[in-house]
A and B are shown apart, each in its own frame.
Chain A
Amino acid sequence: MEEAVNIVILALMAVTVIGIVFIRNLMAVVMLSGIYSLLAASVFVVLDAVDVAFTEAAVGAGISTVLFIGTLALTTRIEKKPAHKPYLPFIVVAITGAALIYGSFDMARFGDAEAVTNKHVAPYYLENTKKHTGIPNVVTAVLASYRGYDTLGEVVVIFTAGIGVILLLGSWRRGLTPPAPHKRDEA
C-alpha cells in the first residue's frame, strides 16, 4: 500500500517537473512548483517525517510561491526564448544526474536498521531524549537542545537573508538621492 502511494506521488512529481520544463507561462510554472512542494510534503508524510513535511508545505508550497508571484509582479510573466541551443546545459545536467544516481548505489538500503547512519547517534537521542529533556518530540529536542548551536546558525542565516533584502530593496532606499545621474534621465 505504502509503496503504491509512493509510486503515485513520485510519478506526479515527475509529471510536474516535465510541465515546469516545457511551460513558458511563468505564472503556471510558479503554481506547478508549489504543487511540486506539496507533493514532496506528502512523500515526507509517508516517510513519517511529519516535521519536515510541515516545513516543506509551509515554506515550499506557501511562502516560496508567494515570493515567486511577487517577483513575477516586478519582472515579467512570460519566459523569453533562450538565445542559445540547450545541448550544453542538457549534457551537464545529464552527467550530474548520472553521477548522483551512481552515488546513490553506495547509500544505505532504505529503512535499513543496521545502516551506519541509524547506528551512530540516532539510538542515543531516542534513548536519552526523555531522560535529558522530558520532551516527547525527539525532533524538537534534537533541533533545539542537542543541536541548538546548529539551529542558532540557521536562524542567523534567515536573519542575514532578511537584512540582505532590506538593504537591497528596502524602503529606506527611496530617501536616497542617486549618486550619479542615469543615462536614461539625460535622454
Chain B
Amino acid sequence: MKDYLVLRVITKLLVPFILLFGLYVQFHGDFGPGGGFQAGVIFAAGFVLYAMVFGVASAQRILPEGILRAGIAGGVLIYASVGLLGLILGENYLNYSPLSHVSKEGQHLGIFLIELGVGTTVASVMMTVFFTFATWREE
C-alpha cells in the first residue's frame, strides 16, 4: 500500500489519537466504560492499522518481537504478582485492600495495576498474532 497517499496521511493522523484513546480507556476504565481488555485491543488496533499501511517491518521496528513476547508474559506476571502481594500482606489472594493503609485506596491501586497487566497482555497478544499472520509463509 505504499502508493496510496491519502491512506498514508490519514493513517499518520489517526494513529496517535487511536493510541491516546486506548490509554484513556485503559486508565479511565474504573470511572467510565472500558478497562484492560478493550484498551489492549484498541491500542493493538492502532499498530495493526499502521502495519497494514506502512508494512509490518516498520511497525516491528517500534515493537520488535522480543518486546511483545515480554509483554505477553509480563502482563500475566503483573496480574498474578499483585494477587500474591495481597497474600503476603496477610489477606486472600487477589484481595487488594491491604495494598494501602486505606482499604478503598488499596482496591483502587490493585484494580489499576491488574488492569495494566490485562492491557499489556491483550495488546501484546493481539499484535503478535497479527504480525505472525502477516509475515507467515510456507517453507
Category for how many chain A residues contact B = 35 or more
Distance to closest chain A CB from B103 (angstroms): 8
Given contacts A133-B107, A159-B121, A163-B72, contact A171 B65 (CB under 8 A): yes
Q: Determine if A70 and B30 form an interchain contact, defined as CB atoms under 8 angstroms apart.
A: no
Q: Determine if B111 and A144 form an interchain contact, defined as CB atoms under 8 angstroms apart.
A: yes
Q: Determine if A155 and B34 form an interchain contact, defined as CB atoms under 8 angstroms apart.
A: no
What mask results when residues 54 to 80 of chain A are scored 1 for a CB within 8 Å of chain B, else 0? 110011001100110011011000000
Bound together, the chains give a CA A165 to CA B117 distance in angstroms of 20
Nearest A residue to B45 via CB reads A62
Distance to closest chain B CB from A39 (angstroms): 18
Residue numbers in B under 8 Å from A134 (CB-CB): 104-105, 107-108
Q: Determine if A152 and B83 form an interchain contact, defined as CB atoms under 8 angstroms apart.
A: yes
Contacts A59-B41, A63-B41, A140-B111 supplied; 12 other A-B pairs, CB < 8 Å: A62-B42, A67-B133, A133-B107, A144-B35, A148-B96, A152-B79, A152-B83, A155-B118, A156-B76, A159-B73, A171-B132, A171-B135
Q: Determine if A141 and B30 form an interchain contact, defined as CB atoms under 8 angstroms apart.
A: yes
Q: Determine if A74 and B118 form an interchain contact, defined as CB atoms under 8 angstroms apart.
A: no
**Among all A-B residue pairs, the 7 with the closest Cβ atoms:** A162-B125, A70-B133, A134-B104, A148-B94, A133-B107, A50-B33, A58-B41
Asked whether A94 is an interface residue with its Cβ less than 8 Å from the other chain, the reply is: no
Given contacts A152-B83, A155-B117, contact A74 B122 (CB under 8 A): no
Distance to closest chain B CB from A127 (angstroms): 16
Bound together, the chains give a CA A50 to CA B34 distance in angstroms of 8
Residue numbers in B under 8 Å from A158 (CB-CB): 121-122, 125
Secondary structure class of chain B's binding surface, majority of residues: helix
CB under 8 Å from chain A, chain B span 67-123: 69, 72-73, 75-76, 79-80, 83, 93-94, 96, 103-105, 107-108, 110-111, 114-115, 117-118, 121-122
Bound together, the chains give a CA A59 to CA B36 distance in angstroms of 13
Residue numbers in B under 8 Å from A59 (CB-CB): 37, 41
CB under 8 Å from chain A, chain B span 25-39: 25, 29-35, 37-38
Nearest B residue to A130 via CB reads B104
Q: Determine if A169 and B45 form an interchain contact, defined as CB atoms under 8 angstroms apart.
A: no
Bound together, the chains give a CA A171 to CA B139 distance in angstroms of 11
